[in-house]
Structure 1
Amino acid sequence: MTLILTASELQALADMPGTITAVQRAFAGLSRGTAVQPAPDSLVLPSSDARFLPMAALSEAEGLASVKLLADIPANQLASLPTQRSTIMLVSQLTGETLAILDGKVPTRVRTAAASAVATKLLARPGSTTLGLIGAGSLAVAHVEAMLAVLPFDKVIVWSRSADTVSVFCDEVGHHRLNITRASSVREVVESADVLCTLTPAIEPLVRGEWFRPGLHVNAVGSRPRPDHREVDTTGMVRARVFVDSLATAKAKSGGLIIPVAEGAMSFEDVKGELGDVAAGTKEGRLGEEDITLFNSVGIGLQDLAIGRLLYDAALNQGIGTHVELNN
């Protein structure tokens, strides 16, 4: 039987601390060779700017193979539709049975924030207390929850082009009793933060590396998976010790990395490692208090597999979802 889980059902099942643990375990598995994460293909037709990305993964620890089909359609914005939609399929590693089909909205948001939390846990200064957010939408709300699970932040400074979006953000995170500052510029956020999360679908860089203070950690999260989109400029990438979720994936679809390499300002060999290497203890992350570290987060299918395992198990335990016999 295959379990079908909708977005509203998944929202009730999401568990941030558990997801952080699962995502860190998945990253370490990739480094140790007990998980497989191929570079994704990007399916494009000449007649459209839409891209379709099948994101596959396989994990021995989780006993699953998975694939998420991500549809990235910028033109949807003109019709007031989501510009990204996705569906995740979970398959038993042992039998090949299709165990579950999940709407991808909630898992993608939660696992993305969880990956930033893992990077922050492994790369940020332990004494970090000020969280900076560029962007104030639902992903920013998820990042606050994730960041508080790994470090004792007491201040948040946030910027968005939309004052209304910032107001909604403040309402949604108000129960955390944080000292929240509404910044007047991106630069104000960057120069104030101990940990900076960039969460916008920017095409051209919003964040300048010349604004980076010694000791900063950056989670560059928001840009679309396209080689010409980025949030952080070349100077920022060059100044930082850069880590990625998957080097093969970053080489294929991260403008944040591809553009500085094309400009000759850095090479792919300048990337210090994959985050899983730090999680597995095979490579060093932050070397000192003054280091600037940066997690270039593109998003990989193994993260979807990790949270998919949690959500599937929780749904079975709580009797949530709809069972369908696909073989009939």
Structure 2
Amino acid sequence: MTLVLTHSDIVALIDRRAVYDAVERAHADLSAGSAANPAPSVLPLEDGGAVLPMAAVATRQRASSVKLLSDMPFNRARGLPTQRSTIVLMSDRTGECEAVLDGRHITAVRTAAASAVATAHLARAGATTLGLIGAGTLAVEHTRAIARVRPIDKVLVWSRTAATVEEFRRRVHDLGIGVEYVDSPRDVVAGADVVCTLTPSKEPIVHGAWFRPGVHLNAVGAPPRADHREIDGAGMGAARLVVDSRPTALTKSGDVLLAIGEGHLTEDDVVIELGDVVRDPGLGRRHDDDITLFNSVGIGLQDLVTARLLVDAALAAGRGTRVEISA
């Protein structure tokens, strides 16, 4: 029998702290070789859309998975989400389809968890001000995740619309953290210890000339397209760079690929993965004045480990719908 988990099932079941722990272990397993996550291929669609099959396998979770990510930029004009996804979880022992899960909430929570893992291992221990460029759901999830790993007492946030910031403020009110709406991305970078870029930008929205000594950045928002980026080439070259997956970054990260094309990076600079830093902290921040940058494209292994948590929780709680798809 295959378990089907809807968006509402997932919202009810998800445990963010458990997702953080699972994502941290998954990256360490990827570094150690007990999990595998090849760079996804791109299947182009008409009108400029694309489908990315994000595959992974993990010994610890006894599973393989594929997330089918549909990247549909033209949906914005239709008032629809620009990205949609579905995750299929398979047993690595029998090959059966264990579960089918909606990917929307999983993607947001596991993405923030990865940034929090990077922040825990790369940001200065005394970082208290979080800066957000973008104020949507990813901003909410990043605030919740990063506040668990650093003593955040203030959030500087920029968005193109004041209404989005007010909605963000409402959604994080329970955390008791001060929220300040600033005038520009530059103001965010100028005042924050940890900066998260969370916009689907094609042109750089953050410039390396703005970086202050000691800042840590999580570059998150750009879609997995070689022509999109949030950080300019000089900024990518100025930081100690850590990626979620080297093969993925070198094929899907516009931040990385455009910086290489402009001569600010070489492929040899794209070496350290997040799991390497989890296993060996000496590969990350070495001095308080270091500028560190986590380039987050997003990998299927993060979806796999989160899906496994949710399936186990759903079975324990009797939640979800069971269907027989092989009869």
Distance 1:85 1:103 in 2: 9
Residue number in structure 2 paired with 1:220: 219
Are 1:127 and 2:126 counterparts?
Answer: yes
Amino acid across the alignment from 1:9: D
State which drifts further: 271-280 or 71-80. 271-280
Structure 1 pair 212–282 and aligned structure 2 pair: CA distance change class (3 A): closer
Amino acid across the alignment from 1:34: S
Amino acid across the alignment from 2:3: L
Number of aligned positions between the proteins: 327
Shift, 1:205, TM fit: 0.5
Check the 8 A contact 2:245/2:273 in 1, yes or no.
yes
Check the 8 A contact 1:241/1:271 in 2, yes or no.
no
Q: Secondary structure at the residue paired with 1:100?
A: strand
Q: Secondary structure at the residue paired with 1:18?
A: helix
Amino acid across the alignment from 2:35: A
Shift, 1:271, TM fit: 2.5
Check the 8 A contact 2:154/2:179 in 1, yes or no.
yes
Q: Cα deviations across residues 108-130 of structure 1 (Å, max 9, x unaligned)? A: 00000000000000100000000
RMSD of aligned alpha carbons: 0.9
Residue number in structure 1 paired with 2:141: 142
Distance 1:257 1:327 in 2: 43
Check the 8 A contact 2:246/2:271 in 1, yes or no.
no
Distance 2:274 2:204 in 1: 23
Residue number in structure 1 paired with 2:33: 33
Q: Where in structure 2 are the equivalents of 1:131-170 lying within 5 Å?
A: 131-170=130-169
Same amino acid, percent of matched pairs:
55
Are 1:86 and 2:85 counterparts?
Answer: yes
Amino acid across the alignment from 1:158: V
Residue number in structure 2 paired with 1:24: 24
Check the 8 A contact 2:47/2:74 in 1, yes or no.
no
Distance 1:245 1:297 in 2: 6
Q: Where in structure 2 are the equivalents of 1:5-20 lying within 5 Å?
A: 5-20=5-20
Residue number in structure 2 paired with 1:192: 191
Distance 2:279 2:325 in 1: 38
Q: Secondary structure at the residue paired with 2:54?
A: strand
Structure 1 pair 196–282 and aligned structure 2 pair: CA distance change class (3 A): closer
Distance 1:168 1:53 in 2: 31
Residue number in structure 2 paired with 1:179: 178
Distance 1:64 1:185 in 2: 44
Are 1:43 and 2:43 counterparts?
Answer: yes
Distance 1:81 1:49 in 2: 15
Check the 8 A contact 2:119/2:146 in 1, yes or no.
yes
Structure 1 pair 65–316 and aligned structure 2 pair: CA distance change class (3 A): same
Q: Secondary structure at the residue paired with 1:287?
A: coil
Q: Cα deviations across residues 218-264 of structure 1 (Å, max 9, x unaligned)? A: 00000010000000111110110000000100111100000010112
Q: Secondary structure at the residue paired with 1:294?
A: strand
Shift, 1:282, TM fit: 7.5
Residue number in structure 2 paired with 1:247: 246
Check the 8 A contact 1:241/1:272 in 2, yes or no.
no
Check the 8 A contact 2:55/2:64 in 1, yes or no.
yes
State which drifts further: 281-290 or 93-102. 281-290
Q: Cα deviations across residues 53-73 of structure 1 (Å, max 9, x unaligned)? A: 000000001111000000000
Amino acid across the alignment from 2:213: P
Q: Secondary structure at the residue paired with 2:29?
A: helix
Check the 8 A contact 1:215/1:291 in 2, yes or no.
yes
Q: Secondary structure at the residue paired with 1:53?
A: strand
Distance 1:167 1:60 in 2: 43
Q: Unaligned regions of 5+ residues in structure 1, if any?
A: none
Distance 2:16 2:202 in 1: 29
Shift, 1:280, TM fit: 1.7
Q: Cα deviations across residues 92-150 of structure 1 (Å, max 9, x unaligned)? A: 11111110000000100000000000000010000000000000001100011100111
Amino acid across the alignment from 1:108: T
Distance 1:179 1:81 in 2: 32
Distance 1:289 1:140 in 2: 25
Q: Unaligned regions of 5+ residues in structure 2, if any?
A: none
Q: Secondary structure at the residue paired with 2:298?
A: coil
TM-score by length of 2: 0.99
Shift, 1:15, TM fit: 1.2
Distance 1:265 1:222 in 2: 21
Amino acid across the alignment from 2:292: T
Amino acid across the alignment from 1:305: L
